[in-house]
Amino acid sequence: MPELPEVEGFRRRLVPVAVGREVTGLAVFDEKRWHPASGLDAGSVKGATIDAIDRAGKMLVYRLSGGLALAMHLKIAGQLVLERPDGPRLVGGHPYPRPGIELPDTSTRFLIELSGDVRLWFNDQRRFGWLRLMPLTEVDLFVASHDYGPDPIAPGFSDAVLGSRLSMRAGRPVKVALLDQSCIAGVGNIYADEALYRARIHPRRLAGSLDARDIARLTVELVGILNIAVPVGGALMRGNRKVDVDSEVDSGRDFLEAHGCAGAACPRCIARGEAGLDDAPRIVRTVVGGRGTYLCPICQTEP
Ligand SMILES: [Zn+2]
């Protein structure tokens, strides 16, 4: 967390507001998370225009006029807050600090100021996120150095692509393979759990044990859950726990059926008519590859 949907969902809302605006200032609140290339500093971006905002895996890349680029990674607890005079605050990434809080607060690492009094705050309670400034000519090489696998919501992603990526990791549990950013890009703990649950595949099954039908189902469910999550800006998670949606007044994000839902009745078992709400199997939490993992023991048969 944040994963592809949280980053991409925010990017899609950020682009129409930020692209074409001039950067009027960059304030660095935490020097340790700030990595300018040699010869560049926060003042270097002043006066540059944002030409494009791209995503690579879970990384955002701001392409600026004047031959510069900013690469940004929210890591496990980064949050972006967009403030503008003519619209509501937009919050993306981690749900904390709480959306209404006055900024900067103790978690604020950066502020990018744009023309028209538009402000983009980068908050991060855990201090793993980072911002890197470099010449535009170096950014593609920088992205490539991360060795990201194919993007699951890009055109051309298919069961053949997923099958080929998983076949290179045949001896590893399928969940571990999905979390490997060089296998496919952007999927983390939430969406790996959710896709495997929906595809009825136990996360501990070896990637090489999946047959063509398993891979076809997993492809459909993975792309499907990402395409549900992206338009609403992703899930509201704190650590491994689903944030109470009622308290956040954001019911559009209540789409998780397995991840963070330990103890809840399995909606798929109920939908199959095999159980009612009271006697349905419960979602359980286990650990796979060192990560908290949620599954239905009936839907997803242990290998
Ligand atoms: Zn079930």
Q: Which of 84, 217, 291, 297 is catalytic?
A: 291
Give me the pLDDT at residue 8, please: 97
CA angle 222, 185, 90 (to 5 degrees): 80
Provide the CB-side half-sphere exposure for 16 (13 A, CA).
5
Domain count, the chain: 2
Give me the pLDDT at residue 239, please: 64
Is 242 known to be catalytic? no
Tokens read off for 94: 């981690």
Along the chain (303 residues), what's the average pLDDT of each consecutive run of 10 residues? Answer: 93 97 98 98 98 97 98 96 91 85 95 98 97 98 98 97 98 98 96 98 98 98 96 77 57 82 94 85 96 97 92
9 lies in the same domain as 140? yes
Is 217 known to be catalytic? no
8 lies in the same domain as 136? yes
Give me the pLDDT at residue 296, please: 98
Residue among 294, 298, 281 at smallest CA distance from 203: 294
89 lies in the same domain as 172? no
SS3 content of the chain, % helix, strand, coil (to 5): 30, 25, 45
Q: 267: CA distance to ligand 1 center in Å?
A: 7
Q: Which of 83, 112, 144 is the last residue of a domain?
A: 144
What is the C-alpha to C-alpha distance for residues 134 and 39, in angstroms, rounded to an integer? 9
Give me the pLDDT at residue 97, please: 87
What is the C-alpha to C-alpha distance for residues 74 and 57, in angstroms, rounded to an integer? 11
Residue-wise pLDDT for 5-32, tens only, equals: 999 999 999 999 999 999 999 999 999 9
Tokens read off for 180: 């490997």
Q: Which of 33, 58, 175, 268 is catalytic?
A: 58
CB 130 within 8 A of CB 77: no
What is the C-alpha to C-alpha distance for residues 152 and 166, in angstroms, rounded to an integer? 13
Q: Which range of residues forms the domain containing residue 202?
A: 159-295
Provide the CB-side half-sphere exposure for 170 (13 A, CA).
6
Q: 3-state class of 187 per DSSP? A: coil
Residue 302: partners with Cβ closer than 8 Å, 6 or more residues away: 202, 204
Where helices occur in the chain by DSSP H, the ranges are 4-18, 136-144, 159-167, 174-179, 189-198, 212-229, 245-248, 267-271
Instruction: Evaluate whether residue 166 is within a structural domain.
Output: yes
Instruction: Evaluate whether residue 109 is within a structural domain.
Output: yes
Q: 249: CA distance to ligand 1 center in Å?
A: 28
169 lies in the same domain as 289? yes
Is 3 known to be catalytic? yes
What is the C-alpha to C-alpha distance for residues 148 and 241, in angstroms, rounded to an integer? 27
135 lies in the same domain as 256? no
163 lies in the same domain as 275? yes
**For residue 289, what is the domain's CATH number?**
1.10.8.50
191 lies in the same domain as 93? no
| Residue 27: strand pairing partners | 111
Give me the pLDDT at residue 251, please: 57
Is 6 known to be catalytic? no
Q: What is the pTM of this model?
A: 0.94
Q: 3-state class of 87 per DSSP? A: strand
176 lies in the same domain as 264? yes
**For residue 100, what is the domain's CATH number?**
3.20.190.10
Instruction: Evaluate whether residue 256 is within a structural domain.
Output: yes
Q: Which of 121, 144, 167 is the last residue of a domain?
A: 144
Instruction: Evaluate whether residue 204 is within a structural domain.
Output: yes
128 lies in the same domain as 54? yes
Q: Compute the chain's Rg from CA coordinates.
A: 20
Q: Count CB atoms within 10 A of the CB of residue 87.
A: 10
What is the C-alpha to C-alpha distance for residues 34 and 120, in angstroms, rounded to an integer? 16
Give me the pLDDT at residue 7, please: 96
Identity at 176, one-letter amino acid code = V
Q: 297: CA distance to ligand 1 center in Å?
A: 7
CB 296 within 8 A of CB 266: yes
For residue 97, whether the previous peptide bond is cis, meaning omega lies within 30 degrees of 0, is yes
Instruction: Evaluate whether residue 154 is within a structural domain.
Output: no
Tokens read off for 19: 């692209």
